[in-house]
A = this chain, B = another copy of it.
Amino acid sequence: MAIDRVDAYIDAHRADFVEQLKALIRIPSVSAQPDHDADTRRAAEFIRDDLEAMGLAAELIETKGHPIVFARNAPRPGRPTVLIYGHYDVQPPEPLEPWVSPPFEPTERDGNLYARGATDDKGQMFTHLKAAEAWLKGAGELPLNVKFLIEGEEEVGGANLEQFVAENKTKLACDYAVISDTSQFAPGMPAITYGLKGLAYFEVLVQGARTDLHSGTFGGTVANPCNALAVILASLKGPDGKIQLPGFYDPVKPLEDWERAEFAKLPFSEAEFQASLGVSSLEGESGYTTLERKWARPTCDVNGIFGGYQGPGPKTVLPCKAGAKLSFRLVPGQDPTTVAEQFRAHLKAVCPPGVTYELIVHHGAPAVLVGVDSPGVRAAVRAVEAGFGKAPVFIREGGSIPVVGLLKDQLGVDTLLLGWGQNDDNLHGPNEKFSLADFQKGIKASAHLFEELVKEGDRSESAVP
């Protein structure tokens, strides 16, 4: 059987695959930091070269920002087409101090690979490249039509992918989309993620006096933008954890009874979760369990706050500026544009007198819910079982993957969210990691997915130009 040769190829190249992943991770492709623009391009070229080397037609597509990598095999009619999306850019590694090993020097410890991008998304995305390679080199060909769409602006919410997808619907046409950029439910408990939160991300800049002032000579005469910012940020949530924007909860689709029941059945220990985070208590919106809040209720977090003197020792300054980055995680029913309007209205209502503010609206995305009863999900269940030796559970996720909504809107396709990561992988934080065993299992699950999607039958001729 072809799949046996594919499995054998994967087993035989285990060490090679890890070395290749390390080489990719060593490229500090921090899309948010212009200093790293050349590195970011280098990561794109690495992906293109890898796809080309395995025999696919691969290209680097220029955008106004970081390039997109697109690759495909020679399409054959009568076969289903799968589009695999991933991203080669990573979050900034800062703060650097807490990293045990340098963020861009991938280091193996306890069966994990530690580095920025290890799980988000270089490691997970790379499983599909290696699955394709295993088919092409191990079995001679891919069993279905495969397209790769690997972008470099996921972490900065660049509008360039959106434009590219909108302008290239035929090129990208497919029956299934697959993304591995989420987590398993727990070690040894693979999962299919059927819901994602959306995102509305803002920056608020508050200005007081024209320049910094002496806090003694001028204190008590002008509003302090740091104090004013605190008033603004403190007004975002009530003591019950409810977000205070006017109308914020109105369009929220409530959790269904079956979901609350399924979540409650999962082996989730609040005590262990709390201990793993090192907090004295779990906190959030009242009236919901931790898993419900984590996966399916909207949230609001300040992502960064800055103003005045941050150096060593005291400085008696009355600052002229302060600012915060903050974001709302949205659930099905909510729309980031509406939330921006609500936030604007809230700001106007709560901003103290004597300061002015500027609102910067960063990228947003609505939440996503995928139907769990479909040919793609059925194939994915079997593939995950083949790769991980265990049937997946169905979960939702608090993170946002805006491209899922984009692919639905533009290509009319649902995305299979097959996460190979773990909840404690610390993506976006220091000491990000990815299990090397899960890297291997993910490659196998991806390879089997190609076969299982074929078993679900031909889907649509439209996918083959």
Q: Which residues of A contact B (CB under 8 A)?
A: 32-34, 91-92, 94-95, 98, 155-157, 183, 197, 199, 201, 203, 208-224, 226-227, 229-237, 239, 241, 273, 277-285, 290, 293-294, 297-319, 322, 324-325, 327, 329, 352-356, 362-363, 397-400, 423, 426-431
Contact = CB atoms under 8 A, between A and B. Distances in A.
Given A222-B277, A303-B308, 18 more contacts: A91-B315, A155-B315, A208-B279, A209-B278, A215-B303, A216-B397, A220-B284, A221-B273, A226-B324, A227-B302, A230-B232, A280-B353, A280-B354, A283-B354, A301-B318, A303-B318, A303-B319, A305-B305
A352 to B, nearest CB: 8
Contacts of A224: 301-302
Secondary structure of the A side of the interface? loop
A282 B227 contact: no
A325 B91 CA distance: 29
Nearest to A311: B92
A368 to B, nearest CB: 12
Most chain B C-beta atoms within 10 Å of own C-beta, residue among A216, A300, A355: A216
A398 B316 CA distance: 12
Contacts of A227: 233-234, 236-237, 300-302
A423 B217 contact: yes
A317 B304 contact: yes
A20 B428 CA distance: 53
A384 B361 CA distance: 56
A65 to B, nearest CB: 11
B356 A226 contact: no
A304 B307 contact: yes
B429 A221 contact: no
Contact of A329 (B219, B284, B310, B313): B219
A217 B356 contact: no
